Amino acid sequence: MSLFPLESNPEVMTKFLHKLGVSDNWNLVDVFSLENDALDWIPRPAVAFILLFPCSDKFYEHAAQQKSEIEQQEQVIVPDLYYMKQYVSNACGTIALIHAVANNEERIDLKDGIFKKILDESKGLSPEERGKLLLELPKNPHIMDMITAHQELALEGQTELNPDEKVNHHFVAFIEKGGYLYELDGRKEFPINHGKTTSDTFVQDVAKVCKEFIARDSEDVNFTVMALTAADN
């Protein structure tokens, strides 16, 4: 199963969030620079970052090394962290948004909509079981509604879509949970704990990790960063 890829477009992805039940008090904004003076312009509170990056050989090499190191040293995973695996091609944008919303449900005004129903149904499931929910289109009307919204919003992007073209970029989410900064990538074996953070230092701490992604592929300019923030009404 494969979906149309979502474009890294804050207007399109914000529309997707609102369509699925996130309050209009929250939206996605572009992060144009990861330098400290530019980060000050990001509306607060900012509760999640979404990074789009190229899937290069350097990325896969680093991910394999990172996995090996974590398996040897272990890491802290707080029990209420919401994480799901990705089994559907080109669903990384939707999964990144799920990760961003699910791990901030107590802060975001989530209406009685598609997101809330899916989160309620999946809270007691394992990451693997959550990921397989997206394969249950005929069985689960809420998943069908979410996938339909994904496809509709993917077509609203500015990039011409070719369903047969291989996608070489990937979305991941960064959130704070239990005093730790987590990278949530449904294609990895587990969440990645990037160390301690607070609501006050979250933006600066995420920016450092995003800079590390960019530094590993410094020849490639195809990186974009968005933040999930309170709307500037």
Q: What is the H or E stretch that residue 181 is in?
A: strand 180-184
- DSSP, collapsed to helix, strand or coil, labels residue 210 as helix
Residues 25 and 116: their CA atoms lie apart, in Å, by 16
Q: 142-150, long-range: CB within 8 Å, 24+ apart, which pairs?
A: 142/114, 142/117, 142/118, 143/118, 145/114, 146/20, 146/94, 146/114, 146/115, 146/118, 147/3, 147/94, 149/16, 149/19, 149/20, 149/114, 150/3, 150/4, 150/6, 150/16, 150/91, 150/93, 150/94
- CA separation, residue 228 to residues 17, 97, 130, 188, 194 (Å): 10, 9, 22, 22, 19
Find the catalytic residue in 92, 99, 142, 210: 92
State yes or no: is 99 an active-site residue: no
State how far the Cα of 94 lies from the Cα of 212, in Å rounded to an integer.
24
99, 142, 150, 170: the catalytic one is: 170
The catalytic site residues sit at 92, 170
